[in-house]
């Protein structure tokens, strides 16, 4: 494979409604995945404030079903 560089879009600082200060708590996990995929994101790190919401991360992974890599992250 001699194709040269390959570029991918990753967002390594992404907040969800699990963050205490997230403005729109009506945003669903489906909305999150749809938006990320629509913007060509291939990997995302969930970096909510003061929490690692494992249940949400697992649900996002289930919804993404191999179309998007979802990583737990931490903001400090």
Helix (H, G, I), strand (E, B) or coil at 19: coil
Please state, in angstroms and rounded to a whole number, the distance separating the CA atoms of residues 72 and 1: 31
Is beta strand 9-14 parallel, antiparallel or unpaired with respect to 41-46? parallel
**pLDDT confidence tier of residue 24, bands split at 50, 70 and 90:** very high
Q: What is the pTM of this model?
A: 0.90
Token pair for 70: 């979802």
Summary mean pLDDT of the chain: 95
User: Within a 10 A sphere around the Cβ of 17, how many other Cβ atoms?
Assistant: 18
- pLDDT cut 70: percent of the chain above it: 99
DSSP annotation of 47: -
**pLDDT confidence tier of residue 1, bands split at 50, 70 and 90:** low
């Amino acid at each position: 494979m001699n194709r040269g560089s390959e570029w991918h879009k990753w967002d390594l600082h992404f907040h969800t409604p699990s963050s205490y200060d997230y403005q729109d708590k009506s945003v669903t996990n489906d909305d999150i995945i749809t938006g990320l995929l629509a913007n060509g994101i291939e990997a995302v790190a969930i970096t909510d404030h003061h929490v690692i919401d494992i249940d949400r991360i697992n649900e996002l992974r289930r919804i993404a079903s191999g179309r998007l890599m979802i990583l737990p992250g931490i903001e400090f």
